[in-house]
Structure 1
Amino acid sequence: MRRTVTMVRGAARDLRDDERGDVPGWVLVTLMTAGLVVVIWALAGPALSNLFEQAIARVSGL
């Protein structure tokens, strides 16, 4: 029984240590995605806004 508990604790410790190195990767992916959204929004925002206004004008007949 004691051997099993020791093995489980060792496996849990290994899993915990393996996950620590992955956090900076997720931070980098999140920051890069946010940067891409900002760039695409800056480039396409005015065109999309104009397209939306035209569509609403056609539907409402203004």
Structure 2
Amino acid sequence: MRTIHAPRLLLLLGTSLVVRFGQTLRSEDRERGDVPGWVMITLMSATLVAFILVMAQGALESMFNAAMEKVNP
């Protein structure tokens, strides 16, 4: 079984969400309302946040530790 690393998985998920969102916009069925659009925007935002957290985890940890050292005497 082939394993997919987290950044690549997030990129694949984000790409598929963008493609699906584009298909939703071109859809002729306008009676569904805007709910699918908001769901896609929410999922894409969550994917971006997760991707940024994975990529910047080390830098975020060091910034947090430095801030905590300044607060504690």
TM-score (ref. length: structure 1): 0.55
Asked if 1:22 corresponds to 2:34, the answer is yes
Query: Could you tell me which amino acid in structure 1 is paired with residue 52 of structure 2?
Result: I
2:72 counterpart residue number: 60
Asked if 1:44 corresponds to 2:56, the answer is yes
- Structure label with greater radius of gyration: 1
From the two aligned structures, give the one with the greater helix fraction.
Answer: 1
Query: Could you tell me which amino acid in structure 2 is paired with residue 42 of structure 1?
Result: V
2:46 counterpart residue number: 34
Q: Which runs of 5+ in 1 are unaligned?
A: 1-17
Query: Could you tell me which amino acid in structure 2 is paired with residue 38 of structure 1?
Result: A
Identity %: 50
* Relative contact order higher in (CA < 8 Å, ≥ 6 apart): 2
Measured in 2, the distance between the counterparts of 1:26 and 1:59 equals: 40
Query: Could you tell me which amino acid in structure 2 is paired with residue 49 of structure 1?
Result: E
Cα-Cα RMSD: 1.9
